[in-house]
């Protein structure tokens, strides 16, 4: 019985000796510095996110929010900003929202509706062409075409009427598409008179 016990003691001592003389694992200074810098950067980023979140919360509590789908945890209320009104779960601009124009859920109709100072507007009209403050000058033959003011007497894409383009060899002259390549009255451009012969938009004097 002594021999197995003696062998077991030898094995245990050998294992202990291997742990005693084993070299401890060490990391290079560069690796340690890199891990330390990464940890510091992660803590700084977390702190910045927390501060930004606190700033947004404080500002929203002072001046109101745009989105009220998540109310304040303390009061379960949501203050809208001075230019907004609470419509359902969201704050809406009743002066400029075509889906809540003047009052909540008052939707403006039309192909391109707008809301200007709480009143429904037609953004295809010359009075409000594309936006509330864009008014076409009808005295200068302007019309509202695709949300922009166009001179129907000179616009190549809207000649005489919206959506009436002239060909590449034509010009819009007085609300009409005319040939400007071989036309002595409009040689190369509208009202460019040629006293000779107009050929390919060039005037040749004999």
Using one digit for the tens of pLDDT, what is the confidence trace for 62-92?
444 555 555 555 455 667 777 888 888 788 9
CA angle 69, 90, 96 (to 5 degrees): 155
What is the spatial distance between Cα 41 and Cα 37, in angstroms, rounded to a whole number? Answer: 6
Displacement of CA 144 from its chain's centroid (Å): 25
pLDDT for 15 equals 45
Residue 198 belongs to a domain = yes
Q: In the chain, how many domains are there?
A: 2
191, 187, 190, 193: which is closest to 155 by C-alpha? 190
Phi-psi region of 174 (alpha: psi -120 to 50; beta: other; left: phi over 0): left
pLDDT for 199 equals 95
Integer-rounded Cα radius of gyration of the chain: 39
Residue 201 belongs to a domain = yes
Residue 178 belongs to a domain = yes
Domain match, 149 and 128 both:
yes
Residue found by looking up tokens 């021999």 in the block: 3
Mean pLDDT of the chain: 78
Using one digit for the tens of pLDDT, what is the confidence trace for 41-60?
665 555 555 545 444 444 44
pLDDT for 25 equals 54
Q: What is the mean pLDDT of each run of 10 residues along the chain (206 residues)?
A: 46 50 53 61 57 46 50 58 83 93 95 95 96 95 96 97 95 96 95 94 91
| Eight-state DSSP code of residue 174 | T
Task: Tell me which residue range forms the domain holding 172.
Answer: 166-206
Residue 200 belongs to a domain = yes
What is the spatial distance between Cα 72 and Cα 81, in angstroms, rounded to a whole number? Answer: 14
Domain match, 193 and 204 both:
yes
Look up residue 139 and give its two tokens. Answer: 């005295």
What is the SS3 assignment for 132? coil
Domain match, 129 and 160 both:
yes
Look up residue 121 and give its two tokens. Answer: 């507007």
């Amino acid at each position: 019985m002594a021999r197995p016990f003696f062998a077991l003691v030898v094995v245990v001592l050998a294992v202990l000796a291997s742990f005693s003389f084993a070299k401890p694992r060490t990391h290079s200074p560069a690796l340690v510095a890199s891990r330390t810098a990464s940890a510091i950067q992660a803590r700084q980023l977390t702190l910045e996110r927390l501060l930004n979140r606190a700033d947004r919360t404080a500002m929203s509590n002072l001046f109101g929010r745009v989105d009220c789908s998540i109310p304040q945890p303390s009061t379960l209320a949501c203050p809208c900003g001075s230019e907004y009104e609470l419509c359902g779960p969201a704050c809406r601009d009743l002066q400029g929202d075509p889906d809540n124009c003047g009052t909540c859920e008052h939707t403006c109709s039309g192909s391109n509706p707008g809301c200007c100072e709480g009143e429904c507007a037609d953004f295809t009209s010359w009075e409000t062409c594309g936006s509330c403050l864009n008014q076409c000058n009808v005295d200068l033959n302007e019309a509202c075409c695709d949300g922009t003011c166009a001179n129907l007497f000179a616009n190549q894409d809207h000649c005489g009427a919206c959506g009436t383009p002239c060909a590449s060899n034509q010009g819009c002259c007085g609300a009409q598409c005319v040939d400007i390549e071989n036309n002595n009255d409009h040689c190369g451009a509208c009202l460019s008179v040629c006293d000779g012969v107009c050929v390919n938009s060039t005037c040749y004097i004999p």
